[in-house]
Structure 1
Amino acid sequence: MSARRTVLLTGASGVVGRSVLCENARDGEGPRVIAASHSAPVPEATGPTVRCDMTADRFGLDADSYAALAGEVDVVIHSAGLTEWGLPAERYEPINIEGTRRVIDFARQAGATVHFMSTAFVAALAETAPVELCADNVCRNYIRSKQRAEQLLRDSGVPHTVFRPTNLIGDSSTGWTSQGQIVQLMSDWLGRGRAPFIPAHPGIRMDFVPQDLLSRAVLGAIELGDDQGEFWVTYGPEAMDIETCLELLVKHAAERGRTLSLPPVVNADELDPDAIASTAPMTRSYLSVLRDVSEVTRCSGGVLPTSMPELRERYGIRHVDDTAAYLTSLEYAAAHLG
């Protein structure tokens, strides 16, 4: 095992940040973590905390505090970012792009390695993508901001890794998550029988990864001292298909005393535009997101790239059945996030 490191964790109050803190506490012998957050509390922090504004020079710290922080830190886990979809491109610039530039500057001063939390959705904008992503796709501006941040790191010369998770669900064992995200929101809506149909592209996979697998991988990279590599934190071809996902929603509804009739799955490429546009506002919003996320997967080849076999071998990430983890996440969300 390598010497104990000091890690600056940006975005410590977010879903990934709080999961990393939980996993590090479970390990007991992990790195010393300085939890950086803009304003939200970080209940899982057991070590020092610091208020950092990723949109401001020196993270909003005075020169002496910034220099002192750089003098302590060996590694940065950069998970701070704007993850909401559907916003204008300029909204992502200050934190997702310029915030990453500031992390690079800090890492240079600290002599630190950066572990960057990107997204598997960047595959949809790759030059090798088999189909071009629509300009008005709800995810596009967010994906582009992560793609640009990755490029900044590549061009910087700073030692770094890139982790590209797909949509995250709760802890694989307990379902815990600090807050509901898109999978939980969409699943709850579908599970209540609100969808008149499911717009999806044929053959796509429903790729959801438990948040603790991502956290364990990042902490494993720190333990081994890795300072390069790009890792797709996805199930790839192991991921469930859409029919299996819907069957699990039916099972979950039955366990809660509800009968859920499966809505028809409609080929998104053959869908009449009025089929979504003519629905009620909330239904229109959810159906549009389903269609656009399906398009992202289709543009990624229908199955997301994966590094899961490598992550299991190199970092000891355990095998977790995605269907079991999804059901556990649904159960936790129903009990705690409703």
Structure 2
Amino acid sequence: MSARRTVLLTGASGVVGRSILRENGADGPRIISAVHSAPIPEAAESAVSLDLTAERFGLDADSHAALVASVDTVIHSAGLTEWGLPAERYGPINVEGTRRVIEFAEQAGAAVHFMGTAFVAALAEDAPVPLGEENVCKNYIRSKHRAEQLLRDSGLPHTVFRPTNLIGDSTTGWTSQGQIVQLMSDWLGRGRAPFVPVHPGIRMDFVPQDLLAKAVLRAIELGDEQGEFWVTYGEEAMDVETCLQLLVKHAAGRGRSLNLPPLVNPDELAPDAIAKTPPLTRSYLSVLRDVSEVTRCSGGVLPSSMAELRDRYALPHVDGTAAYLAGLEYAAEHLG
């Protein structure tokens, strides 16, 4: 077991960052939380205001040198995760921000633990079908793929954790803010979808955020400084029908009756089937279609390192359906 580390956590105010802070115990690493604007309730030890898009993170020379001298590990979780933006929007933080993190880590002699995305599987050379150029996720995925390449080329000791879409805490459902799974589930659970565009056989792969946080912290504890981990359920992930039945169960628990919308293969949709729906419906149906395409390009089931993570990092066996229901309950009570 390694000595206690001093970790710079970028993206500390985000969903992953705050989950890592919550999971970090008294015997865990000392975490310096990089903040940009909003305060972080979980940042109990120390915080520093950084701008990853600026030279020296926006610090003066002395402050930057002091940070370099104090840090031996970086968890790089900062990034623009919203889908559907022009490619140039992702460059400054997802790509150039990673480049600056690499420069910092080189000066500090620090290992980097990078938070990527399982969706890069859709860009693999052996992907069964190519990802469409108009896919709402593609520019985001490409930026994360490029960031991974920068790390590989740097020669720095590093790990890459590639989570699928994250949901709340596996037990309580807690999350610091709603994300696409919560928003989409609420919309579907209120009977707003006229149909669900999904490719046959794909899985709805959602992983509780605390499993990712536990894995990253355990890697640091063990001194692991290399490896690529797909933080997904893979073959264990629920199918679409199971996911929709859980939404029916959740709706019933809240006094609502939900009639399931039909499943439609996106490849068989009329060209204007989504375009002619109201704006919000059009947006959500487009996301469902395009995320389904990402999964299909990954073989229908995302790659998974869950067995390895359970074995090496002692991750608990968490029932994905129970965790999803806990997240639905938390979102209904606390996220509006």
Query: For residue 71 of structure 2, what is the aligned residue in structure 1?
Result: 73
SS of equivalent to 2:226: coil
Query: For residue 8 of structure 2, what is the aligned residue in structure 1?
Result: 8
Say which of 201, 204, 209 aligns to 1:203.
201
1:337 and 1:128 map into 2 onto residues whose CA distance is 40
Matches within 5 A, 1:237-276: 237-276=235-274
Amino acid at match of 1:22: R
SS of equivalent to 1:273: coil
SS of equivalent to 1:277: coil
Determine whether 1:277 maps to 2:275: yes
Determine whether 1:326 maps to 2:328: no
1:40 and 1:137 map into 2 onto residues whose CA distance is 32
Give the C-alpha shift of residue 234 in structure 1.
0.1
Matches within 5 A, 1:152-167: 152-167=150-165
Deviations 1:77-114 (A, max 9, x none): 00000000000000000000000000000000000000
Deviations 1:26-60 (A, max 9, x none): x3210000000111211111111000001101110
2:267 and 2:235 map into 1 onto residues whose CA distance is 22
Query: For residue 101 of structure 1, what is the aligned residue in structure 2?
Result: 99
2:126 and 2:20 map into 1 onto residues whose CA distance is 32
Say which of 314, 317, 327 aligns to 2:315.
317
1:190 and 1:155 map into 2 onto residues whose CA distance is 42
2:36 and 2:237 map into 1 onto residues whose CA distance is 35
SS of equivalent to 1:275: coil
SS of equivalent to 1:103: helix
SS of equivalent to 2:159: strand
Amino acid at match of 1:146: K
Query: For residue 22 of structure 1, what is the aligned residue in structure 2?
Result: 22
Deviations 1:216-247 (A, max 9, x none): 00001000001100000000000000000000
Give the C-alpha shift of residue 126 in structure 1.
1.0
2:35 and 2:204 map into 1 onto residues whose CA distance is 31
1:66 and 1:319 map into 2 onto residues whose CA distance is 41
Say which of 37, 48, 51 aligns to 1:50.
48
2:22 and 2:42 map into 1 onto residues whose CA distance is 6
SS of equivalent to 2:274: helix
Amino acid at match of 2:305: S
Query: For residue 225 of structure 2, what is the aligned residue in structure 1?
Result: 227
Give the C-alpha shift of residue 289 in structure 1.
0.5
Query: For residue 302 of structure 2, what is the aligned residue in structure 1?
Result: 304
SS of equivalent to 1:226: coil
Q: Kindly, what percent of the aligned residue pairs are identical?
A: 81
Give the C-alpha shift of residue 168 in structure 1.
0.1
Backbone CA RMSD of aligned residues: 0.5
Say which of 146, 149, 163 aligns to 1:148.
146
Deviations 1:170-206 (A, max 9, x none): 0001000000000000000000000000000000000
Give the C-alpha shift of residue 268 in structure 1.
1.1
Query: For residue 125 of structure 2, what is the aligned residue in structure 1?
Result: 127
5+ residue gaps, structure 1, are none
Query: For residue 183 of structure 1, what is the aligned residue in structure 2?
Result: 181
1:88 and 1:179 map into 2 onto residues whose CA distance is 24
Query: For residue 29 of structure 2, what is the aligned residue in structure 1?
Result: 31
Say which of 216, 219, 232 aligns to 1:218.
216
1:276 and 1:13 map into 2 onto residues whose CA distance is 35
Deviations 1:275-317 (A, max 9, x none): 1111111111110000000000000110000000000000000
2:60 and 2:266 map into 1 onto residues whose CA distance is 52
1:315 and 1:115 map into 2 onto residues whose CA distance is 15
1:220 and 1:89 map into 2 onto residues whose CA distance is 34
Amino acid at match of 1:165: P
Number of equivalenced pairs: 336
